Homo-oligomer: A and B are copies of this chain.
Amino acid sequence: MKKLSPISGFSKLSKKEKIDFLKNHLVTDMDAKTLESFWHANPDLQKILDEFSENTITNFPLPMGLVPNLMINKQLYCVPMVIEESSVVAACANSAKFWLNRGGYKTEVIGTSKIGHVHFKMQTTADELNEFFHDNKDKLLNSTLPITEKMEKRGGGIRSLRLVDKTKELENYYQLELEVETCDAMGANFINSILEHIGKHFGVLLEGSQVGGRESYEVIMAILSNYTPNCIVRAQVSCSVEDLNDPSLGMSGEDFARRIKTAVDIARADTYRATTHNKGIFNGVDAVILATGNDFRAVEACGHTYAARDGVYRGLTRCDIRDGEFKFWIDLPLAVGTVGGLTKLHPLSSLALDILGNPSASRLMEIVATVGLAQNFGALRSLVTTGIQKGHMKMHLMNILNQLGAGKEECEKAKNYFEKETVSFNGVRDFIENIRED
């Protein structure tokens, strides 16, 4: 790598100039056409994609695939997933099929409210501040009407506002905690706008008061929380243990049920396992979140915080076997939108929502949680039966063979050979080269 010098005004360069910068200073053997080859042929559409972010030079393509036959509450879905990891779509499709004839998936939205805070410091007594807050709460709420008016017409708006004394955690630290219903929008901008307003207006009200220490009121920040334990959905499957008998499992339904339950219990008992257990759930969750133009970082942060809510980081799914009945479920907090944000702006997330029948945010919560549960079932099924490597290695091998431009016959030979050998790039390359020399 050449030694770089600082550059000024980079963001003001045209896309072409930014690419030239790369070529001149960083990747001298780069063919600029490589980057251009990933642009969309329609320049207006490409402009929309470019302006989702900043300093964009091209589109990074991720495979968009389909999971058919996912039955949720007796309705069949075909679910679009955007994921670069092999086996995720296939495992989800297998789990969809497995449960299709065993009653399908059932879901229930347990809550939909979101939360945000004005975080502030004030040198006062909690009692005096609390009294002032309650005397002025209505004024504070009324002052937000210009912001909340439209959302209220859609059935949303502010659900509660309370003062939280956090001075035990940090000196002079209080919160104004806002609970909000945002209907089909993820609602980040809506919540943040209310909070920034409330933070300022509470200061104005304090100024005109006699509350002790009012001049020390200092808003540190006003922002929604991505932790939404009250915006939560349950997805579950259940059937008799007997109905789990399936020739594909290589063991009895009873053994399978017991091994799945043990694997779930292990993920509740051991944090090392819980992390990977949940990672697998988010393989599916994020793939639908991405496809529908939602924000996977928000969903991840929320789900993992929830996984640690009792003081130990645990697996998110649960399993129970009682009176011959196998039950497997997940409670997943999920703040998603089906309007606003990128949902309709990205042409393919708009299409993904079409494929899902243009669901409400609540319906999307149900779909996403179901995919998460199905993904976990698929991973556990592999783990407690054949082990995870068998399927992974097959996919990995195909990727390498494609990279090497292997023909159909070469692929078949390689598949047979690597049935019992460890797959590595060099190993596969050597194998293919040997065949070609024959």
Inter-chain contact A348/B61, CB cutoff 8 Å: yes
Chain B: CB-nearest residue to A29? B354
Inter-chain contact B63/A62, CB cutoff 8 Å: no
Query: Which residue of B27, B64, B347, B351 contacts A351 across the interface (Cβ within 8 Å)?
Result: B27
Flag the segment in A35-43, A133-141, A208-216, A234-242 that touches B: A35-43
Question: Does A257 touch B at the CB level, under 8 Å?
Answer: no
Q: Considering the chains assembled together, what is the distance between the CA atoms of A64 and B57 in angstroms?
A: 6
Inter-chain contact A1/B59, CB cutoff 8 Å: no
Inter-chain contact A53/B301, CB cutoff 8 Å: no
Question: Does A93 touch B at the CB level, under 8 Å?
Answer: yes
- How many residues of A are counted as interface, with CB atoms below 8 angstroms from the partner's CB atoms? 154
Inter-chain contact A64/B68, CB cutoff 8 Å: no
8 Å CB contacts to B: which residues of A6-55?
6-7, 10-11, 18, 21-22, 25-27, 30, 34-35, 37-38, 40-42, 44, 47-55
Which of A34, A48, A300: most chain B Cβ within 10 A? A300
Which of A34, A52, A354: most chain B Cβ within 10 A? A52
Inter-chain contact B297/A300, CB cutoff 8 Å: yes
Question: Does A124 touch B at the CB level, under 8 Å?
Answer: no
Question: How far does the Cβ of A94 sit from chain B's closest Cβ, in whole Å?
Answer: 10
Q: Considering the chains assembled together, what is the distance between the CA atoms of A85 and B294 in angstroms?
A: 9
A276-B223, A384-B221 are known contacts. Are A403 and B18 too (CB-CB below 8 A)? no
8 Å CB contacts to B: which residues of A243-279?
259, 262-263, 265-266, 269-276, 278-279
List residues of chain B with CB within 8 A of the CB of A77. Answer: 4
Query: Which residue of B59, B76, B192, B351 contacts A61 across the interface (Cβ within 8 Å)?
Result: B59
Question: How far does the Cβ of A223 sit from chain B's closest Cβ, in whole Å?
Answer: 6
Question: How far does the Cβ of A147 sit from chain B's closest Cβ, in whole Å?
Answer: 6
Inter-chain contact A66/B55, CB cutoff 8 Å: yes
Question: Does A65 touch B at the CB level, under 8 Å?
Answer: yes
- Counting every copy of the chain, the complex holds 2
Question: Does A175 touch B at the CB level, under 8 Å?
Answer: yes
Question: Does A142 touch B at the CB level, under 8 Å?
Answer: no
Inter-chain contact B63/A224, CB cutoff 8 Å: no
Q: Considering the chains assembled together, what is the distance between the CA atoms of A292 and B424 in angstroms?
A: 19
Inter-chain contact B42/A119, CB cutoff 8 Å: no
A26-B355, A27-B354, A220-B263 are known contacts. Are A62 and B65 too (CB-CB below 8 A)? no
Flag the segment in A155-163, A165-173, A321-329 that touches B: A165-173
Inter-chain contact B273/A51, CB cutoff 8 Å: no
Question: Does A398 touch B at the CB level, under 8 Å?
Answer: yes
Inter-chain contact B84/A398, CB cutoff 8 Å: no
A48-B402, A425-B340 are known contacts. Are A93 and B55 too (CB-CB below 8 A)? yes
A54-B86, A59-B62, A192-B389 are known contacts. Are A10 and B40 too (CB-CB below 8 A)? no
Question: How far does the Cβ of A274 sit from chain B's closest Cβ, in whole Å?
Answer: 7
Inter-chain contact A85/B189, CB cutoff 8 Å: no
7 A–B pairs (Cβ distance < 8 Å), ordered by A: A53-B83, A55-B67, A61-B348, A119-B266, A150-B424, A196-B389, A275-B305
Q: A35-B351, A60-B290 are in contact. List 10 more A-B contacts (CB 8 A).
A: A10-B69, A11-B90, A48-B402, A49-B63, A59-B59, A121-B262, A221-B387, A227-B276, A304-B307, A344-B425
Q: Which 8 A-B pairs have the closest CB atoms?
A: A1-B357, A304-B304, A59-B61, A308-B308, A227-B275, A169-B269, A221-B383, A279-B301
